[in-house]
Amino acid sequence: MDLLLDRFLRYIAVETRANPDATKTPSSEGQLTLAELLADELRSLELDDVNVDQYGYVTARLPGNQGDLVPAIALIAHLDTAPDLSGLNEEVNTFVYEGGDITLQSGSVISETDIPQLKNMVGETLITTKGDTLLGADNKAGIAIVMSAVDRLRKKDDPRGDVMVVFTPDEEIGHGADLLDLEQLGARFAFTIDGGELGEFETENFNAASVKVDIQGRITHPGSAKGLMVNAGLIASEFVSMLPAGQRPELTADREGFIMLDKIDASIDEATLSLIIRDHDKTRFAEKKAVIEEAVRYLNKKHGERIRLTIEDQYQNMAEVLVDHPYIEELALEAMADEGVTPLRVPIRGGTDGARLTLRGLPCPNLFTGGYNFHSKTEFASLDQMRKAVDVVTRIILNAANKAW
């Protein structure tokens, strides 16, 4: 079997679904299972300093042969899959795509209308689930790509610097970069291998914040409620009605930000709303926060200080830092050109470990994996595009040795 495919299938067979309600890292035991599997494989590839720490971070080093002349570069992917669906895959479909819509065993359909890129994939080997689980290309395709690139590099005598391999837990619930020791890692810069479509190279992402609105009502018997009852559920509805109607995720794209109502739990006595705010632009991001703050101020004045608002920043746009490190972008674009890949520059409508690491001091843009429809029952991956990602990652490491640092 193709070694890249073999790796990918072994990794997606381990359930690593993140648990957003957990109070520990990693949030699921399966992530530790995969971490140990990967550490054993890294040892078999004879990498140095292979380690799995108590939080499930996997680190290893492929030694370079240029001393300090070439900086260490980290390659990063994450262990977990999204909480939305099970990621346990006991059976998948691997086939050469011949065109048209793809109907999975569950009846779910991967449609050319929804994924117009399919029209360019005729003849490629695609991998899907049966349509009732996540495939896990996000981000086990990234893990397989990193492993395969490192395996290829270790067999070459070409000049190169140290390559630091990092697999992180709980990226999908926003904690993947929290506990990585950057000083011990010792890399000058890094790449997350966590993008989608062939050629994606991402150097900007959303600014992000979480919002919690707690509303305290007053419950009384409805027969004697006049002048006494305060319905928290109705106040919650009033708050939602004050949000900008055109700034919902289903109505926005590209660099358009949004405010999304994620969850609402309401009764007469109390109500809790969870929302998220996203925008690439720092000023518009602040304006969205201000909209929510003003709505709460108004409703507190109207209903008597019954609402408590909590807004917490989650991550920032990495573009603000990466603009000061243009050599990283140049290195990636040169490698793509060398491997015949057309760069696809898109702003990430989300965040990655790379965004958080960049703001922590490790510049870290994002590269494609060849995966599509992430967080969906119709998630799929192109093996051909995964191979191209291996080529690009390998070329980045080799080209770095030819630069004047």
Q: Looking at the annotation, which residues are catalytic?
A: 80, 171
Any bridge partners for residue 192, and if so which? 76, 366
Contact 376, 82 (CB under 8 A): no
Which residues does 62 contact at the CB level (< 8 Å), separation at least 6? 47, 48, 150, 153, 154, 162, 163, 164, 165
Classify strands 73-78 and 163-168 as parallel, antiparallel or unpaired: parallel
Cα-to-chain-centroid distance, residue 179: 17
Contact 134, 86 (CB under 8 A): yes
Distance, CA of 148 to CA of 229 (rounded, Å): 64
